[in-house]
Chain A
């Protein structure tokens, strides 16, 4: 195969020999020199993951994280030169990474961190104006059919684990030792202004917001949230979305969305 092909394969596969055709001025073994490239590639890609998964890194420590990330990087190298959101597959990889099985919440913490990275770089979109909002809310008959576009940074992460508390404890909020990991928490991730926020919300609110986000009308979304049977506070959930400037467009049922 071609020079670049052999070179590229050997960069990501430490079992492969140094590619043929490399020379050094002093006749020394070029494998030692090729190792610099191998190391550069691995370090750069592991660093790219480390910058998006800071708490995951802290939870397992430097050596474990870098070893785990190296396995992932070699199996799933980036497909784009834009690395801001590299690591979409990393949480699922962690979930199946046997040496990390002792920390069952680790994959969900990584999911939360990935959503934060995406939220940080999501498009800037202004919230819906107060006048338009008031007009729509005044039309009680139209409310159940009202659809919402939510801010592109917004995501909901329901977890069997205390992902928000675990994450917050690593931001100096709360005591990590006091966090009970096996308590289910639902995270709302969104960017307000320049800051990405992580907010714990009731599970029913998570169901509601996720339903709105996937395009279902207000009435259907509220039904799904209520069906969870855990109590659902529609006014409080809508209030939170408004407070966080998360509603960007309203689509009345009579208009085509």
Chain B
């Protein structure tokens, strides 16, 4: 039942990608300008491509030229890195408008952003920064997610972060916090298995226990990536989420366990630095596809299809207002 990639010579009738309601439960790759031509020439059999929204918020030129062509052949995920959903101030309305225009133009199957902040006081810091998990942050994040979903007219996925510090002020665990945001806003979960592993190690916790505590029923997509190793002031391991290395064995093992829990799920291999040639990334994608196919087989054997992408509130499946509304925490 895997959607087949339509070759350029095929009649338009069989196009599976654009306009589909959701990403296929296959492995996708981050789209990098150095691979534009190779992708168009070789039409690799990958499930989808993902772009960073902010990279394409330009008027014209080669980025839109190539994205338009590639998008006509593949499902697309748009992944924001600049909305600053965990920020203290309000969302940047002009930026949200730019995002809405990009989403209107490319009609991606998925839109996701991060549980993090990246702007403060009008300055963009170009990193995904951590926030205290307290009631104040919760009501702000829920209000921001509501605002994004309302402006875009669609459900978004929120990604669990990789963090290096924690806040004394936090009163929720990360999983509890994300669970509350999902429950109150109806957003989905972008489960970044690498981030969960990095954060688990960095904060002395069992990564699988951290993953299990997340609202996994709301998972709409999975990210896999590589990290770098450092140490903290006590000499304990401090993993850095670089997106600059192959996916680690530990993360592959966690990914397999996640799939057994949630069923086949759109999965992205993220690589944003030290970008290797396309065939190297395709090999990593094939490994993920192998696991996806294995789990698809085992899920077929079960009584019914897995409820893999439904949030607890039943969001995203039609109806006039598919998302829950966030209340203000008392």
Contact = CB atoms under 8 A, between A and B. Distances in A.
Task: Tell me, yes or no, whether A binds B.
Answer: yes
B41 interface: no
Given A2-B88, A41-B127, A77-B124, 15 more contacts: A4-B120, A8-B125, A12-B123, A24-B203, A25-B203, A25-B205, A48-B126, A78-B123, A79-B123, A81-B118, A84-B55, A121-B59, A122-B59, A152-B59, A153-B61
B166 interface: yes
Using C-beta atoms within 8 Å of the partner chain, give the interface range for chain B: 35 or more
Interface stretch (B19-27, B227-235, B313-321): B227-235
Given A4-B120, A23-B166, A121-B59, A28 B126 contact: no
Contacts of B98: 82
A21 B167 contact: yes
B124 A79 contact: yes
Closest 8 CB pairs of A and B: A81-B82, A121-B58, A28-B234, A25-B204, A124-B60, A123-B59, A8-B120, A32-B233
Contacts of A82: 54, 57-58, 82, 95, 98
Interface in B229-254: 230, 232-234, 236, 238, 240
B119 A28 contact: no
Contacts of B216: none
Interface of A: 2-5, 7-8, 11-12, 21-34, 36-37, 40-41, 44-45, 48, 77-85, 120-125, 152-153, 191, 194
Contacts of A4: 87-88, 117, 120, 129, 131
A191 B61 contact: yes
Contact of B168 (A23, A45, A124, A152): A23
A26 B166 CA distance: 11
A152 B58 CA distance: 13
Nearest to A121: B58
Contact of A3 (B62, B118, B132): B132
18 contacts: A4-B88, A5-B121, A8-B120, A21-B167, A22-B165, A24-B233, A32-B233, A37-B164, A41-B127, A77-B124, A81-B81, A81-B92, A81-B95, A85-B58, A121-B58, A122-B60, A153-B61, A191-B61
Nearest to A120: B61
Contacts of B51: none
B287 interface: no
Contacts of B164: 33-34, 36-37
Nearest to A81: B82
A194 to B, nearest CB: 4
A83 B54 contact: yes
Contacts of A44: 126-127
B169 A21 contact: yes
Contact of B63 (A11, A31, A36, A121): A121
A242 B88 CA distance: 51
A122 B168 contact: no
